[in-house]
Structure 1
Amino acid sequence: MKLRQLASECDEGPCPTVWTIDEDAEHVLVQGFKVEDEEALATMKMPEHETTVRTPMALLKRVAREHLT
């Protein structure tokens, strides 16, 4: 799977980041903080094959502004 970084919260090191997948224009990958709060996960009724990450709204707005207009 070939990835390309769209936007990140920092200049270096691991931090929340949005990635595109070269061979899949319909999806992006979002790197964020792992959600482990059981109440939140229960509310979302997460199936075993899915996961949830907490991502800064500013990062998603930046991706929308720079790559979806």
Structure 2
Amino acid sequence: MKLEALLSSCDEGDCPTLYRTDRGTLVVQGEWITDHGREIPEHETMVEIPVELIRKAVRDGLV
């Protein structure tokens, strides 16, 4: 899978980031959370990203 960075909340590369894949999907990089209280499959995880990252993606026409 190839990832294209769409936008990030910082310039360092280790911050919440939104990516577009060559498969027509989105990938998010964010804080891995474990205290969500949800049952999810073992092959999945949940990450936390700032709401402003999604707002900016919509404003910029990226999604």
What is the TM-score of this pair, normalised by structure 2? 0.86
Can you give the 5+ residue segments of structure 1 that lack an aligned partner in the other structure? Answer: none
Q: 2:46 aligns with which of 42, 45, 52?
A: 52
Percent sequence identity is: 42
Can you give the 5+ residue segments of structure 2 that lack an aligned partner in the other structure? Answer: none
User: Quick check: which one's helix share is greater?
Assistant: 1
Q: After TM superposition, what 4+ stretches of structure 1 lie above 6 angstroms from structure 2?
A: none
Of structures 1 and 2, the larger Rg is shown by 1
Q: How many residues align?
A: 62
Q: 1:28 aligns with which of 26, 34, 45?
A: 26
Three-state SS of the structure 2 residue aligned to 1:18 is strand
Partner AA of 1:21 in structure 2:
T
In the TM superposition, residue 57 of structure 1 has moved relative to its aligned partner by 0.3
For the residues of structure 1 that align with 2:28 and 2:13, how far apart are their CA atoms? Answer: 15
Does the alignment pair 1:3 with 2:3? Answer: yes
In the TM superposition, residue 9 of structure 1 has moved relative to its aligned partner by 0.3
